[in-house]
Structure 1
Amino acid sequence: MRMRVLLLGAESSLGQALLAQAAAEFIQLEAVERPDQGWQPEMADQLLAGAKPDLVLNLAFYREQFQLGVADTPTLQQQKNFDERLIHGCAANAVTLVMLSSARVFDGDKASSYTEKDEVNPTGSLGRLQAQLEQSLRTQCPRHLILRFGWLLDGAAEAPLARLVAGLQVNAPLELAEEWRGNPTPVGDAARVLLSVLKQLDCAAPLFGTYHYGSSEATTWISFAHCVVQELIGRGTLTGDVAIQPVSFASRPELRGQPQNAALMGRKLLMVFGIKPRSWRSQLPALLDELTG
């Protein structure tokens, strides 16, 4: 790769998946892991000055955004301070900045999958921060790419998939929100998409802008859970079917601030970059392998 790519948040599951796929193609990325003291704003200036990258891929707050959905004020402020400083620095140095966002920027009221043309209207504090950072990036840094994901799934013990599997293994009915829709997207698939984007940007293709990606096809969390159950039964991890009790989306406190419809349409990414969506069903066994070790 001709570009010097600086990867922030290399310790994250998405960062690790991306580095593994890049290494398999003999592509070298300059990886920076989260410092012990966390991501402080001044570090953005130091990293840009020291590495002198052509492109920065910002996964610094992947854990807070996609694994935990952290929405407490101090954490959001820390993310805002660091990302705003990074945006300003990349703009000042004509560095391309690739930033992740999510379906949280939408209110979830739309009946069909969201496209990049749909108006943002976040209902939660994390979604509002993501929308604010998106706008800041568009305004300040012409050389940018925003990639929105919905349900990013990995094997981390604190992430949604692990919590789902743990709930399924308890000998009691499991309450799950009905009609919570999205695209289950394994982290390995997200890494594939990111690497494909980087390779095309490396060819000096001016393909900046906002894009969506979700593994095909969109489904409900309950339907996804049933697929997980069948896979676990086949592995002998579960001895029988699990009673899943549908409850209203609004009754689940852990989903507060998330859109009930988090399904994203990735047609623009396909048309511009030629990146085809992969089925999450075909990737589910490997994803559970990562979870069960």
Structure 2
Amino acid sequence: MRMRVLLLGKTSLLGQALVAQAALEDIEFLLVEEPPGSWEPAQVAGWLDALQPDAVLDLSFYHQQFQVLDPTSEGLAAERVFARELVTQCAGRDLLLYRLSSTRVFDGVKEQPYTEKDPLTPIGAHGALQAELDQLLEAQCRRHLLLRFSWVLDSSPEGMLQRLVSQLLAGDSVSLAEEWRGTPTPLEDMARVVLAGLKQLDCGSELYGCYHYASAEVASWISFARTLAQELVMDGQLEREPVIEPIPFDSQPAAALEPRNAVLSGRRLLYAFGIKPRTWRVSLTGLLDSH
């Protein structure tokens, strides 16, 4: 890779997966020592001055963005301050800034998949912050790539996938929201897409802007849970599939934090970058094995 890319968030699960995939292609990132606590915005300018990167890939708050159901106000404040400083510093240097986003920037009222042209109508405090930072990036950084994902599946002990696994293992029946829909994205597929976008820009393609990635198969939360339960039975973690009792989405705590419709259209990404979607089913067994 010709570009010198500074990766922030190397110790996150996505950062680790990305570094591993990049190493297979002899791609190395510029790295910094990550703070034991929160990311310090005062350090950003020093990193950029010392390392002189051509681009910055920001995964600093990956876990909070995609796996924490209800981030604390302190966590959101730390994300806001750090991200705003990073945008300011990259814009002043005309660096490529690559950031991720989630479907919490939409309220889920729309029936069809969300596209990049849909207005931001965030849900919850975290959705409001994500929308604020997305708009700031697009307004201030001429050279930017904003990649938005739906349900991200990784091995976080308290993450989206593990919360569902715990529910399925807890008893003979489980109550799940019947109207919740999304496009599940396993971690390794997310890393593949993030790296593919970076390689396209490294080739000189000025395909800046916001893009959505959607896996090849839309799922309801219940249909996804049933597939997951089958995997747990085959893996010997369950004797039999639990009975799933459908309940209204609005009755769930997640309804105040997540959009009812979290389905994204990835057509623009496919046409611009040639990044083809993969089905989430092929990676499910591997994800469960990593728990």
Per the normalisation by structure 1, the TM-score is 0.96
> Equivalent residue for 1:269?
269
Alignment of 1:1-293 (within 5 A): 1-32=1-32, 34-291=34-291
Could you tell me whether the CA contact under 8 Å between 1:69 and 1:126 is conserved in 2?
A: no
Could you tell me whether the CA contact under 8 Å between 1:102 and 1:148 is conserved in 2?
A: yes
Could you tell me whether the CA contact under 8 Å between 1:98 and 1:146 is conserved in 2?
A: yes
Could you tell me whether the CA contact under 8 Å between 1:183 and 1:264 is conserved in 2?
A: yes
Root-mean-square deviation (Å): 1.2
Matched AA of 2:99: M
Of residues 251-260 and 149-158 in structure 1, the stretch that sits farther from structure 2 once superposed is 251-260
SS where residue 36 of structure 1 aligns? coil
Give the C-alpha shift of residue 167 in structure 1: 1.3
Alpha-carbon separation, structure 1, partners of 2:152 and 2:138: 24
CA deviations on 1:268-289 (whole Å, 9 max, x unpaired) are 0000000000011122112222
Alpha-carbon separation, structure 2, partners of 1:132 and 1:239: 46
Could you tell me whether the CA contact under 8 Å between 1:145 and 1:210 is conserved in 2?
A: yes
Could you tell me whether the CA contact under 8 Å between 2:69 and 2:257 is conserved in 1?
A: no
Could you tell me whether the CA contact under 8 Å between 1:177 and 1:248 is conserved in 2?
A: yes
Alpha-carbon separation, structure 1, partners of 2:31 and 2:230: 38
Alpha-carbon separation, structure 2, partners of 1:123 and 1:25: 39
CA deviations on 1:32-85 (whole Å, 9 max, x unpaired) are 464113112112222212221111011100111111134322211111100000
Of residues 138-147 and 32-41 in structure 1, the stretch that sits farther from structure 2 once superposed is 32-41
Matched AA of 1:45: A
Q: Which runs of 5+ in 1 are unaligned?
A: none
Q: Structure 1 runs of 4+ off > 4 angstroms?
A: none
Alpha-carbon separation, structure 1, partners of 2:69 and 2:147: 17
Alpha-carbon separation, structure 2, partners of 1:195 and 1:114: 23
Alpha-carbon separation, structure 1, partners of 2:33 and 2:174: 36
Could you tell me whether the CA contact under 8 Å between 1:249 and 1:260 is conserved in 2?
A: yes
Give the C-alpha shift of residue 188 in structure 1: 0.4
Alpha-carbon separation, structure 1, partners of 2:69 and 2:21: 26
Alpha-carbon separation, structure 2, partners of 1:12 and 1:213: 20
Q: CA 1:33 to 1:102, structure 2 compared with 1: closer, same or farther past 3 Å? A: farther
Could you tell me whether the CA contact under 8 Å between 2:70 and 2:257 is conserved in 1?
A: no
Matched AA of 1:27: I
Give the C-alpha shift of residue 245 in structure 1: 1.5
CA deviations on 1:130-188 (whole Å, 9 max, x unpaired) are 11111111111100010000101101111111111111111242121111000110010
Count of residue pairs brought into register by the alignment: 291
Of residues 164-173 and 15-24 in structure 1, the stretch that sits farther from structure 2 once superposed is 164-173
Q: Percent identity?
A: 50
Alpha-carbon separation, structure 1, partners of 2:4 and 2:114: 33
Of residues 68-77 and 183-192 in structure 1, the stretch that sits farther from structure 2 once superposed is 68-77
Alpha-carbon separation, structure 1, partners of 2:124 and 2:116: 19
Matched AA of 1:54: D
Give the C-alpha shift of residue 31 in structure 1: 2.9
Matched AA of 2:136: S
Q: CA 1:121 to 1:30, structure 2 compared with 1: closer, same or farther past 3 Å? A: same
Alpha-carbon separation, structure 2, partners of 1:93 and 1:37: 27
Per the normalisation by structure 2, the TM-score is 0.97
Q: Which runs of 5+ in 2 are unaligned?
A: none
CA deviations on 1:106-140 (whole Å, 9 max, x unpaired) are 11011111011111101211111111111111111
CA deviations on 1:224-269 (whole Å, 9 max, x unpaired) are 0000111111121111111112111111114422100000010000
CA deviations on 1:193-221 (whole Å, 9 max, x unpaired) are 01111111111110100000021211111
